[in-house]
């Protein structure tokens, strides 16, 4: 899993450097998101490996007790939530680096026709023509 995340970070960096323009954040923002996703997504599995396989601080640092399938200790719950926060950062990064949002909007306009898709002042697209 760590190899996939680090390779994805490298791929995002090379794609951002080759295809994006603008300010530093506009170019490398998705790379930072993938880097954050890498760290937050891997914290829980690595902690599980150290605590339950490596017996680091075991049994005092157990992340769940009482036969629970999900962490029920504070540090386990935090790490479990961070795993999903990392997934959110990864989704945003992939959408930005691949321009998926603009591809979806363009496809929507082709399918529905230009009249039905209007962009309001807030920047959100609505298909109701309002």
Question: How confident is the chain (130 residues) per 10-residue block, as mean pLDDT?
Answer: 93 95 95 97 94 89 89 94 97 94 86 60 45
Please tell me whether residues 8 and 53 are part of one structural domain: yes
**Torsion 105-13-3-64 (CA) sign:** negative
Please tell me whether residues 105 and 75 are part of one structural domain: no
Q: CA-CA distance, 109 to 102, in Å (whole number)?
A: 10
The residue whose two tokens read 């209007």 is: 118
Please tell me whether residues 78 and 60 are part of one structural domain: yes
Please tell me whether residues 118 and 91 are part of one structural domain: no
**What are residue 119's DSSP bridge partners?**
125
User: What domain range includes position 17?
Assistant: 2-98
Q: CA 83, 24, 81: angle at the middle one, nearest 5?
A: 10
Please tell me whether residues 81 and 36 are part of one structural domain: yes
Tell me if residue 125 falls in helix, strand or coil.
strand
């Amino acid at each position: 899993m760590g190899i996939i995340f680090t390779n994805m970070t490298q791929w995002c960096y090379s794609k951002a450097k080759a295809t994006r323009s603008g300010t530093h954040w506009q170019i490398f923002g998705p790379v930072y998101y993938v880097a954050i996703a890498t760290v937050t997504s891997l914290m829980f599995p690595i902690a599980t490996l150290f605590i339950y396989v490596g017996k680091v601080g075991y049994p005092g640092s157990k992340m769940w007790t009482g036969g629970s399938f999900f962490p029920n200790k504070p540090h386990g719950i935090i790490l479990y939530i961070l795993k999903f926060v990392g997934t959110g950062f990864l989704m945003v990064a992939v959408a930005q680096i691949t321009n998926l949002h603009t591809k979806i909007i363009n496809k929507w306009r082709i399918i529905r026709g230009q009249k039905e898709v209007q962009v309001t002042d807030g920047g959100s697209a609505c298909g109701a023509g309002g």
